Structure 1
């Protein structure tokens, strides 16, 4: 597994099982946990070191032992991200027929700014209509202003509530969103999940396999919140597969939770029986409205 892949897997597992948990996690357990996913001990330790360097994990070394836990920023980040991933596709946004448009021009000597502006617009699910013109359906005045307002870009204009009266040359704003490629990704996800879903219903999945498959499907599903432009229902093609894909994801995520949790706690018990007795993952229902007062965190708002 590539270095960044092991880091992503670590974040997925730690965020799933230790969200809100402030007790230190033995490094030996995290190394053994990753070995369940065919990550070598060296690869696991390198992944932990890099995550600590990126600020996601905090390190404690009492004596000769090493422990980790999520940083405060990572707790908030994971709370938002888990909620976003699990709830993605639940309720399509209504559309009032308007568009938000961002127009900008960045000179060559500020090329780095251009890259950051494009990255932030992509993260907000804008798409390129023309060079320097990005669009997204709906009114996102405040979100876009907040995301783009801290740049020293000499020419940047934000338009909200825009209406398309005509599109010459075949460049309708809807056409710039790559929906066919995305449909293929959804269809592949649904098809790839069929055998596992049948095995879950028949009780043919063991606890070790449940832990691996649940983390795998979480990693695969997170692609869609990052790449689906979330167009309103009225702009989507007929029989758009997001709901069927979401049902497949939830059947696996919730259907494997008890078995995966059992395997996780079994591995952790060898290193800390007390901590093993406290950890469990959240169901999709619990993540619908994520609040963690019982686990030491107040109400959280934001994204992972």
Structure 2
């Protein structure tokens, strides 16, 4: 069993919970169930209710009643699209192919510089690197998710998206090291390995899989993992340093998912 730390914010855990189980529920998740499931990962009732309210104000959760008349929350259309996009990133742990690039070229008027800040933040959160001022780059497979994100945030009037090849004078492997902070990305993978490789080893040494314990460990591992594929663009191996830790961290997460997810679903009871 692992300890809940500050890195597991209640709002993040709610999004992770819906991504793992809630989006497959046949109807709204009752508030009482949300509180129970969050309590299992160390979130008290006031924090859970406050975080649900914030997600409601952001338009990610919508109040609705279950078939039995209980008050609950379901995902908005935007939130469902966000989680489906994110799920593809989270669960695609195989080595990516060399597929070309997508460029996001943007220009935001000075009078709307707050939108410029949001745009940069969201592109970085999608795994884009900076090729030049106002020019961001990512593997081509991320273009659809980038399009969804920009449309959801009403930022598409400021951005043009292009697909193409790198034909510059600097070798691509050198350019990639300039476009992304690979050391920081690697550090994130190492931190995940430091925490969860031992957890996986502990589970592999067991023959039982208690549902509540499996749910708790899986949700916390998923909450930690889901940030990594959203900042790591998933570059081809030939463009990465040798012994890239992302390969090992993806293998650890995949093994935890296979070991714990279904047993955790029995405790969640909402799918």
TM range (shorter): 0.7 to 0.9
- Corresponding residue for residue 181 of structure 2: 178
Q: Residue 111 of structure 1: which of 113, 132, 145 is its match?
A: 113
Does residue 40 in structure 1 map to residue 44 in structure 2? yes
Q: Structure 1 pair 163/145, CA: closer, same or farther in 2 (3 Å)?
A: farther
Q: Residue by residue, what CA displacement relative to the aligned partner does 1:43-63 show, whole Å, maximum 9, x if unpaired?
A: 112222222222222223589
Does residue 188 in structure 1 map to residue 194 in structure 2? no
Quote how far apart the aligned CAs of 1:109 are. Answer: 2.5
Unaligned runs of 5+ residues in structure 1 are 266-275, 280-304
Task: Determine if contact 2:95/2:237 at 8 Å carries over to the other structure.
Answer: no
Task: Determine if contact 2:129/2:137 at 8 Å carries over to the other structure.
Answer: yes
Q: Structure 1 pair 152/208, CA: closer, same or farther in 2 (3 Å)?
A: closer
Give SS of 1:55's match.
coil
Unaligned runs of 5+ residues in structure 2 are none
Quote how far apart the aligned CAs of 1:221 are. Answer: 0.8
Quote how far apart the aligned CAs of 1:212 are. Answer: 1.2
Quote how far apart the aligned CAs of 1:152 are. Answer: 4.9
Give SS of 1:151's match.
helix
Q: Larger radius of gyration, structure 1 or 2?
A: 1
Task: Determine if contact 1:135/1:173 at 8 Å carries over to the other structure.
Answer: no
Quote how far apart the aligned CAs of 1:239 are. Answer: 1.8
Task: Determine if contact 2:107/2:158 at 8 Å carries over to the other structure.
Answer: no
The aligned runs of 1:51-130 (5 Å cut-off) are: 51-60=55-64, 65-87=70-92, 89-95=93-99, 106-130=108-132
- Corresponding residue for residue 273 of structure 1: none
Comparing 77-86 with 248-257, greater Cα deviation is found at 77-86
Quote how far apart the aligned CAs of 1:177 are. Answer: 1.4
Give the Cα–Cα distance (whole angstroms) in 2 for the partners of residues 14 and 139 of structure 1: 24
Give the Cα–Cα distance (whole angstroms) in 1 for the partners of residues 80 and 246 of structure 2: 28
Comparing 200-209 with 236-245, greater Cα deviation is found at 200-209
Give the Cα–Cα distance (whole angstroms) in 1 for the partners of residues 253 and 180 of structure 2: 24
Give SS of 2:97's match.
coil
Q: Residue by residue, what CA displacement relative to the aligned partner does 1:37-85 show, whole Å, maximum 9, x if unpaired?
A: 2222111122222222222222235899422223344333323322321
Give the Cα–Cα distance (whole angstroms) in 2 for the partners of residues 241 and 213 of structure 1: 22
Q: Structure 1 pair 247/165, CA: closer, same or farther in 2 (3 Å)?
A: same
Give SS of 2:54's match.
helix
Task: Determine if contact 1:128/1:135 at 8 Å carries over to the other structure.
Answer: yes
TM-score by length of 2: 0.77
Quote how far apart the aligned CAs of 1:123 are. Answer: 4.2
TM-score by length of 1: 0.70
- Corresponding residue for residue 200 of structure 1: 203
Give the Cα–Cα distance (whole angstroms) in 1 for the partners of residues 198 and 41 of structure 2: 20
Comparing 74-83 with 141-150, greater Cα deviation is found at 141-150
Give SS of 1:32's match.
helix
Q: Residue by residue, what CA displacement relative to the aligned partner does 1:86-138 show, whole Å, maximum 9, x if unpaired?
A: 11x31312156xx6555555553232342244235424533224434444466
Q: Structure 1 pair 240/108, CA: closer, same or farther in 2 (3 Å)?
A: same
Task: Determine if contact 1:100/1:158 at 8 Å carries over to the other structure.
Answer: yes
Q: Structure 1 pair 73/20, CA: closer, same or farther in 2 (3 Å)?
A: farther
